[in-house]
């Protein structure tokens, strides 16, 4: 059992029983003991007033001090050879972290015929690009990318790895972290370096967005984080920058459990919500799926994208890829229209950091008005076409 309790020291005070977040500690025959629900989180070790509890976990990065791990890495997610927008944001933020630590900023790029993309990553601030180039890497593949990344990390020992909190980054990050036995903080909105201990301070909303939690990974390396797109400023391009491109070979004999047969682009007249500066979202208050065409018209006039609440998606009115909120996408546009959306907390966590929120709802008491910059009390079916017409006139 990796939780060891010294019966000599234990006073059966039950501090660990109340301090265990999983209710797994109990006192048996006068000595504390961990039960089945134990997750090895170490909370009991911290709360024990007499130092009777020890956590005997194999530190997978042990034997190597944090000092052996250096450099800040950015996973350079690409589609069709084009780096995702969040990669440029991570290079901007990663540059600051690397400069503070006095270390290098490196990008890891997988793809087919992507040398030009690698050069662009240098222009956007990377000192080194680790490049895996192979036809099998043209599209993201969990097993192949995760195996190659894990092997590279074991060989090069980066201190920090940043990935975009995109569907690809959210799939790759945990696979690599699990294989390495290190921690991963998901969906960060802020990163900084602890000036004393040089650990990465990873900040993200918690408890439905009601508090901001800063998470540290002090005992394991590398420190891994996925970062929400559109939160951090993009790096500036400087084509006079120089750096090195280090080519790497794929590991042999990777067991590929899945294969990408075909990539089908979703056809849409409007932009992708993760990238859009303007999002026009609709909820159950739109009343009927055909009324989403009103939102599409407004989005088109403003060069924006259409979003949806879960109620609208669950009703089959709009595709899941447009869902905003806790179980959908987190968005951060300049302007967010909430049309016929009540403002449930699960929706708010996905959109409340938008710069301007315009809520249209017939109920003046709807919670959405509490976070709205501008509120319009009225029928969406009248207000939305009137706004479309007004914007069309203004924009010519
Ligand atoms: C674990 C979990 C995860 C969830 N994840 C998400 C998520 O990712 N995203 C999400 O959105 N929700 C999510 N939900 C669901 C969430 O709790 C709400 O149920 C949902 O957001 C409600 O959607 P809505 O605002 O469209 O519908 P409703 O709450 O029914 O609100 C409809 C609104 O439209 C207004 N209205 C009606 N007719 C008109 C009209 N003609 N003109 C103007 N206004 C009108 C009403 O006044 C009302 O305020 C989640 C819930 C759970 C439990």
Query: What pLDDT shows up at residue 65?
Result: 57
User: Looking at residue 26, which CATH number applies to its domain?
Assistant: 3.30.70.20
Closest residue to atom 41 of ligand 1, CA basis: 379
Contact yes or no for 125/105 (Cβ under 8 A): yes
pLDDT value at 176 more than 60: yes
Residues 73 and 130 in one domain: yes
User: Looking at residue 308, which CATH number applies to its domain?
Assistant: 3.40.50.1220
Residues 164 and 233 in one domain: yes
Q: Taking residues 72-81, report their average pLDDT.
A: 96
CA–centroid distance, 281 to ligand 1, in Å, is 11
pLDDT value at 64 more than 50: no
Give residues with Cβ within 8 angstroms of 49, minimum separation 6. 13, 15
Best CA proximity match to 394, nearest among 278, 332, 301: 301
Distance separating alpha carbons of residues 257 and 250, to the nearest angstrom: 16
Mutate to test the pocket of ligand 1, among 292, 323, 326, 370 (most ligand atoms within 8 A of CB): 326
Residues 292 and 218 in one domain: no
pLDDT value at 35 more than 60: yes
Q: Identify whether 260 is part of a domain.
A: no
Tell me which residue range forms the domain holding 351: 278-395
Q: Which residues is 109 bridged to in the sheet?
A: 131
Assign 60 a pLDDT band (cuts: 50, 70, 90).
very low
Assign 388 a pLDDT band (cuts: 50, 70, 90).
very high
**Pocket-forming residues, ligand 1, beta carbon under 6 Å:** 283-285, 287, 309-312, 323-328, 340-342, 344, 346-347, 350, 360-363, 366, 379-381
Closest residue to atom 23 of ligand 1, CA basis: 311
Rg (C-alpha) for the chain, rounded Å, is 25
252-267 pLDDT tens trace: 888 889 888 888 876 6
Distance separating alpha carbons of residues 237 and 123, to the nearest angstrom: 5
- What are the backbone angles phi and psi of residue 109, rounded to the nearest 5°? -120, 130
Residues 284 and 223 in one domain: no
Closest residue to atom 47 of ligand 1, CA basis: 363
How many CB atoms sit inside 10 A of residue 332's CB?
Answer: 20
Mutate to test the pocket of ligand 1, among 330, 341, 360 (most ligand atoms within 8 A of CB): 341
Mutate to test the pocket of ligand 1, among 307, 308, 344, 367 (most ligand atoms within 8 A of CB): 344
Closest residue to atom 51 of ligand 1, CA basis: 346
> What DSSP line would sit under 163-185, residue for residue?
EESSHHHHHHHHHHHHHHT--EE
* Alpha helices (H) in 52-159, listed in sequence order: 85-101, 115-123, 142-156
pLDDT value at 63 more than 60: no
Q: Identify whether 14 is part of a domain.
A: yes
Closest residue to atom 29 of ligand 1, CA basis: 342
Q: Identify whether 255 is part of a domain.
A: no
Give the number of domains in the chain: 3
Residues 154 and 21 in one domain: no
297-343 pLDDT tens trace: 999 999 999 999 999 999 999 999 899 998 888 888 999 999 999 99
CA–centroid distance, 385 to ligand 1, in Å, is 21
Residues 174 and 307 in one domain: no
Distance separating alpha carbons of residues 308 and 320, to the nearest angstrom: 8
Residues 74 and 211 in one domain: yes
The structure tokens listed for 284 are: 């159950």
**Residue whose entry in the numeric block shows the structure tokens 């159950």:** 284
Residues 75 and 211 in one domain: yes
90-120 pLDDT tens trace: 999 999 999 999 999 999 999 999 999 999 9
Percent of the chain with pLDDT over 70: 95
């Amino acid at each position: 059992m990796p939780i060891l309790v010294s019966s000599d020291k234990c006073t059966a005070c039950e501090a660990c029983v109340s301090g265990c977040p999983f209710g797994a500690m109990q006192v048996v025959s006068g000595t504390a003991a961990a039960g089945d629900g134990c997750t090895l989180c170490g909370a009991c070790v911290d709360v024990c007033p007499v130092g009777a509890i020890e956590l005997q976990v194999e530190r997978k990065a042990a034997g190597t001090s944090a000092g052996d791990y250096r450099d800040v890495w950015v996973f350079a997610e690409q589609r069709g050879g084009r780096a995702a927008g969040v990669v440029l944001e991570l290079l901007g933020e990663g540059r600051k972290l690397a400069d503070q630590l006095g270390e290098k900023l490196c990008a890891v790029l997988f793809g087919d015929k992507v040398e030009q993309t690698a050069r662009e990553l240098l222009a956007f601030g990377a000192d080194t690009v680790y490049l895996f180039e192979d036809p099998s890497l043209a599209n993201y593949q969990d097993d192949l990318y995760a195996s190659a990344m894990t092997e590279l990390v074991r060989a090069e020992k980066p201190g920090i790895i940043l990935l975009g909190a995109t569907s690809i980054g959210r799939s790759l990050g945990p696979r690599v972290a699990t294989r390495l036995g290190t921690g991963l903080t998901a969906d960060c909105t802020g990163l900084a370096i602890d000036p004393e201990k040089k650990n990465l301070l990873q900040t993200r909303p918690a408890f439905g967005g009601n508090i901001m939690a800063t998470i540290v990974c002090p005992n394991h390396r590398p420190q891994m984080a996925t970062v929400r797109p559109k939160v951090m400023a993009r790096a500036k391009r400087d084509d006079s920058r120089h750096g090195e491109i280090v080519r790497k070979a794929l590991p042999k004999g990777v067991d590929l459990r899945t294969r990408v047969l075909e990539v089908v682009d979703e056809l849409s007249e409007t932009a992708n919500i993760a990238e859009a500066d303007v999002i026009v979202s609709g909820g159950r208050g739109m009343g009927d799926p055909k009324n989403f065409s009103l939102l599409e018209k407004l989005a088109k006039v403003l060069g924006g994208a259409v979003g949806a609440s879960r109620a609208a998606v669950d009703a089959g009115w709009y595709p899941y890829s447009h869902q905003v909120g806790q179980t959908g996408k987190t968005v951060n546009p300049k302007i967010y229209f909430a049309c016929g959306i009540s403002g449930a907390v699960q929706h708010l966590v996905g959109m409340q950091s938008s710069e301007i929120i315009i809520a249209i709802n017939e109920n003046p008491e709807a919670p959405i008005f509490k976070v709205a910059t501008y509120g319009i009390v009225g029928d969406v079916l009248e207000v939305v076409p009137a706004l479309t017409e007004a914007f069309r006139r203004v924009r010519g």
